[in-house]
Amino acid sequence: MLPLETGLFGRLRRDAGSDWSAYVGHRFVRELATGQLAEPAFRHFLKQDYLFLIHFARAFALAAFKSDTLADLRSATAMVTAIVDVEMPLHVTYCRDWGLTEAQMEAEPEAMECVAYTRFVIDRGLAGDRLDLEVALAPCLVGYAEAVMHRLADTATVRSGNRYDAWMEAYSGAGYHASVSDAIARLDRIGASRGAEARYPALLETFRTATRLEAAFWDMALAAV
């Protein structure tokens, strides 16, 4: 099980309240889980997610720059490599099954919702420190795993014959869950060394804003139909 309710992340998740619940229980994921999500919405999401991953890698490159220890530098550079050399090629391969080429996704105009979230994350890293950046990244890293976990526990979810099942499988696998657990532990470690307790109100505001921007990303996909 993922350690969702412990440590700094657990406190942020709990105090985000309805913002977090609305995000992980979003209609986009509910319809995806039952196979009722309109395919144009999912294709739009896939194209924007490709662009999002580019900026996600940039955010972890910034995390490397903001690192004070070799261990934190290594963890950030490992994430850049994982996104650029593993996750993005996997995303491109997956998108081919939906009739999307990498050239098409590269040429896709970036939606304002994608701009808003990714630049917010990078701004928090530029204006603040590694802790600010990790808090801004956490809703994406952990939220997808929790959203899918809820759907797989729901009797309304359809696995067999659901074209979206492979997407759910990717975010429920042992490899992704290991990355999520690492991110939660890293947040605790960096928070302890950078005075998270004294800074908690500002960190919570960052977390809640990032959470709402994540939900808006899925709103964007639904609005594309």
Identify whether the C-beta of residue 112 lies closer than 8 Å to the C-beta of residue 38: no
Using H for helix, E for strand and C for coil, what is the string for 165-222?
Answer: HHHHHHHHCHHHHHHHHHHHHHHHHHHHHCCHHHHHHHHHHHHHHHHHHHHHHHHHHH
Enter the pTM of the model.
0.95
Asked whether residue 127 carries a pLDDT value surpassing 90, the answer given is yes
Mean pLDDT lowest for which of 53-62, 171-180, 199-208?
A: 171-180
Mean pLDDT within 64-70: 95
Which positions ≥6 away from 181 have C-beta within 8 Å? 2, 3
- Residue 108 one-letter amino acid: E
Domains (range + CATH), the chain: 7-223 (1.20.910.10)
Asked whether residue 58 carries a pLDDT value surpassing 90, the answer given is yes
The 3-state DSSP class for residue 116 equals: helix
Q: Per-residue confidence at 225, pLDDT binned at 50, 70, 90?
A: confident
- Average model confidence (pLDDT) for the chain? 96
Which positions ≥6 away from 29 have C-beta within 8 Å? 147, 148, 151, 218
Asked whether residue 200 carries a pLDDT value surpassing 90, the answer given is yes
pLDDT digits (tens, 9 = 90+) for 140-180: 999 999 999 999 999 999 999 999 999 999 999 999 999 99
Q: Alpha-carbon distance 95 to 11, whole Å? A: 36
Mean pLDDT within 117-145: 97
Q: Alpha-carbon distance 102 to 91, whole Å? A: 9
pLDDT computed for residue 94 by the predictor: 96
Asked whether residue 37 carries a pLDDT value surpassing 90, the answer given is yes
pLDDT digits (tens, 9 = 90+) for 75-85: 999 999 999 99
Residue with tokens 């995000």: 23
Number of neighbouring beta carbons within 10 Å of residue 75:
19
Q: Give burial (CB, 10 Å; 0-12/13-18/19+) of 182.
A: middle
Mean pLDDT within 177-200: 95
Q: Alpha-carbon distance 2 to 174, whole Å? A: 11
